[in-house]
Amino acid sequence: MIHTDRLTKRFGTVTAVDGVSLDIPEGEVFGFLGPNGAGKTTTMRMLASLVSMTSGTGEVAGCELGKPADELKLRQRIGVLPENVGLYESLSAYENVAYFGRLHRMDEPTLRQNIERLLRMMDLWEKKDLPTATFSKGMKQKVALARTLVHDPILLFLDEPTANLDPEAAKTVRDVVLDLKRQGRTVFLNTHHLEEAQRICDRVGILRTKLLTVGSVESLRTGASGKHTAVRVDRPSEQLAATVRARLAPRTVELSGDRLVVGVTDPEQENPEIAAAVMAAGGRILEVSQLSQSLEDIYLKLVHEGGAPA
């Protein structure tokens, strides 16, 4: 659905996006993470043909980026929800959504049907004729989401869709994204919310001008520092750690608080051996668990170090 090769955008002497190569298959929810100013919105705008690329190539929803003849076709196939919802506040929810349906050349019966379905889904049908100026932030975001979906796009670009929303409104938006995922739509999601990315994205990419890494949350978590088994013991000591280290060589064994942390490759196969080694060294095991880094740890590590995970 999205394929880019060394996509780059420069504004004068400033490089906003540097050589981003992506492959996002149909039906995937892809999370794009990065700090403010990392180039997430610029990348999204390039993919939506809203801004041109300085160099590189790309194909989005079957349309070639940078080819003028494909621009309108691409915008017909995609839906874009910018960070600022940008509703016409004097117009009603219905009118806001209808305007965008008409701009997408929808016939009136289908348009009416889609608006009703979407506004009902967002729990806004009863308020469809009220000016959106009277709506809460969460309600406005839902109208904007309905506007983005009204023409049944095959690919959605959502820029920080839950930013500054209360938990309930954020949940509604996330539920809509999950529903889109079930329908097999492709979603490109710019987000700051790591937990959100972890919960709804099939894969994530971390950007800081350059694409630092791409992968499933699970593969990033294990790939960032390898797998570890933590054994909590009754009386931890350096001597116990040294004995266990000798028995489990060449694995790494570190003492961390009341836990012995052992580097493993296949925890299910190796954990019984590790437990046996600890007990043989005189340790009394209280708990055995798997250690994995959170997405937040990986994100912070990558963004601050700027390198790919080990």
Sheet of 210-215, strand order: 78-81, 155-159, 186-191, 29-33, 203-208, 210-215
**Under rule CB under 8 A, which residues in 30-49 are in contact with another protein?**
45, 48
Counting Cβ atoms within 10 Å, is residue 123 exposed (0-12), middle (13-18) or buried (19+)?
exposed
Judged by CB under 8 A, does residue 118 bind another protein? no
- Which of the ranges 28-36, 50-58, 170-178, 236-244 carries the binding residues for another protein, by CB under 8 A? 50-58
Roughly what angle, to the nearest 10 degrees, separates helices 238-248 and 267-280? Answer: 130
Judged by CB under 8 A, does residue 76 bind another protein? yes
Judged by CB under 8 A, does residue 227 bind another protein? no
| Nearest to another protein of 84, 134 (CB atom) | 84
Judged by CB under 8 A, does residue 210 bind another protein? no
Give the pair of three-digit tokens for residue 110. 């289908």
Note if the bond before 250 is cis, omega within 30 degrees: yes
- Which of the ranges 86-94, 232-240, 252-260, 283-291 carries the binding residues for another protein, by CB under 8 A? 86-94
Q: In this structure, are residues 6 and 43 in contact, taking their beta carbons and an 8 Å threshold?
A: no
Q: In this structure, are residues 264 and 251 in contact, taking their beta carbons and an 8 Å threshold?
A: yes
Q: How far is the CB of 186 from another protein (least distance, A)?
A: 16
The residue within the footprint of another protein, chosen from 10, 37, 62, 89 (CB under 8 A), is 89
| Nearest to another protein of 99, 125 (CB atom) | 99
Judged by CB under 8 A, does residue 51 bind another protein? yes
Of 148, 128, 37, 38, the C-alpha closest to 86 is: 148
Give the position of tokens 């780059």: 8
**Under rule CB under 8 A, which residues in 145-184 are in contact with another protein?**
147-148
173/144 Cα distance (integer angstroms): 11
| Nearest to another protein of 101, 309 (CB atom) | 101
- Which of the ranges 95-103, 119-127, 189-197, 268-276 carries the binding residues for another protein, by CB under 8 A? 95-103
- Catalog residues that contact another protein under the rule CB under 8 A: 11, 45, 48, 50-52, 72-73, 75-76, 78-82, 84-91, 95, 99-100, 102-105, 144, 147-148
